[in-house]
Structure 1
Amino acid sequence: MGKQLIIALGREFGSGGHVIAEQLAAHYGLALYDKNILRDIAEQKAVSEKNLTPYDERPKSPFLSRTVRGFTNSPEENIARLQFDFIRERADAGESFVIVGRCAESVLKGHPHVVTIFVTGDLEQKVHRIMEREGLSKEAAAKRVEQVSRQRKAYHNHYCKEKWGDSRNYDLTINSSRLGIAGTAALLTAYVDARRAADPVK
């Protein structure tokens, strides 16, 4: 992999994937990109970040959008394309970073310095995590897990040929319920280190 390191981490809602991404970024001293990409885009376009946030990681509405000669009026699709461009530009510039979601494993497919990971989890533990984090009842948390996971799947599958969560599209797919958040992060660190050791800086 040489000196550059990019970790593209997809995750099921409630799996703890974002926390794991934070731990990996801290361990390697890398920038962490997720919804904060919108801040950079908002500054570039001279618009308010809060006007972009509602469209983050959402599939375009087939009822409220049109595409004519390659141009679309869908804010969801425009935001997605801007984020994809942001990810590619950072990767092509040689930057090392951790990127959460945003179809990064497909956007950067074939890039020599990318490690792709998908974090899943047992439903019961995902629901429990959301109950604690968002102060919801078990029933409400279960509905939230189902809703957000369905949204992420629809978003990913709209923009990518590869299917969301399909293990064949990632270097490693792992269930965080087995080892917990810290244990999963430690295992992933060992994997990344092994990958880097297998392709040392020439």
Structure 2
Amino acid sequence: MGNNVVITIGREFGSGGREIGKKVADRLGIKFYDKELLQEAAKESGFCREIFENQDEKPTNSFLYSLVMDTYSINGYSSAPFLDMPLNHKVFLAQFETIKKIAEKESCVIVGRCADYALAENPNCINVFIHADKEFRTKRVAAELQVNESKAKDAIQKKDKQRASYYNYYTSKKWGDSRSYHLTLDSSALGIDKCVEMILQYRALYLMK
């Protein structure tokens, strides 16, 4: 594990968590993983990437979909207990192992996917949660998705519920609970760039202890 420091970022939809994570990674000159993690997990496990994309941060999936997609083989995951698992559990486990392997080989920023839980035993992991008020998030989502504010609010509610369900389902913790993170930052109050600065400052202090 060495001196690798991993920053994990949980985020409310529309809070700018991905943008903040990318800027932190760019400032530090380290890799950034969001959707990129799905490609790494697919490569490690033998699943095709589409399976990870369909299961991404979702606690369950349809029984029919699981039956169809479960016909794919998984290289390196052939033990009987693993083969008996539902597909969504297999995908989570493969992603979980990929996160741990990435943390062992390099410093990086990882967004979402219960990375803080996967790295709970890693002493060089900084866990951050980004949240923001509804108005701030609604404007950001409406602009990004090019929809009206009503549809943006619906998208926020759906995505937050999905992320919370996924996190709570797999970690037995509560998504967004400040006790699960080193830092919780309000991007609507601080702004995107100030959140970046605060994470970098915290990291510097963390490395000094």
Query: Do the aligned residues in 2 keep the contact of 1:106 with 1:162 (CA within 8 Å)?
Result: no
CA RMSD of aligned residues (A): 2.2
Query: Do the aligned residues in 1 keep the contact of 2:11 with 2:131 (CA within 8 Å)?
Result: yes
Q: SS of the counterpart of 1:52?
A: helix
Deviation, 1:38, is: 1.8
Q: Residue 10 of structure 2 aligns with which residue?
A: 10
Deviation, 1:63, is: 5.8
Instruction: Provide Cα deviations, 1:123-143, integer angstroms capped at 9, x if missing partner.
Output: 110011000111010000000
Q: Residue 85 of structure 2 aligns with which residue?
A: 72
Query: Do the aligned residues in 2 keep the contact of 1:7 with 1:97 (CA within 8 Å)?
Result: yes
Moved more, 107-116 or 135-144: 107-116
- Which residues of structure 2 form unaligned runs of 5+? 68-79
Q: Residue 178 of structure 1 aligns with which residue?
A: 189
Deviation, 1:109, is: 0.9
Distance 2:93 2:35 in 1: 14
Q: Indicate whether 1:33 and 2:33 are aligned.
A: yes
Hey, which of these two has a bigger chunk of helix by percent?
2
The letter of the residue matching 2:86 is N
Query: Do the aligned residues in 2 keep the contact of 1:33 with 1:100 (CA within 8 Å)?
Result: yes
- Aligned counterpart for 1:99 among listed residues 91, 110, 113: 110
Distance 2:181 2:124 in 1: 14
Distance 2:110 2:31 in 1: 8
Matches within 5 A, 1:1-202: 3-61=3-61, 71-74=84-87, 76-91=88-103, 93-198=104-209
Query: Do the aligned residues in 1 keep the contact of 2:45 with 2:94 (CA within 8 Å)?
Result: no
TM-score computed with the length of structure 1 as normaliser:
0.88
Deviation, 1:46, is: 4.8
Query: Do the aligned residues in 2 keep the contact of 1:116 with 1:170 (CA within 8 Å)?
Result: yes
The letter of the residue matching 1:115 is I
- Which residues of structure 1 form unaligned runs of 5+? none
Corresponding residue pairs, total: 195
Deviation, 1:69, is: 5.4
Change (3 A) 1:152 1:174: same
Distance 2:4 2:18 in 1: 21
- Report percent identity of matched pairs: 33
The letter of the residue matching 2:188 is S
Q: SS of the counterpart of 1:168?
A: helix
Q: SS of the counterpart of 2:191?
A: helix
Distance 1:100 1:84 in 2: 13
Distance 2:126 2:101 in 1: 17
Change (3 A) 1:88 1:145: same
TM-score computed with the length of structure 2 as normaliser:
0.85
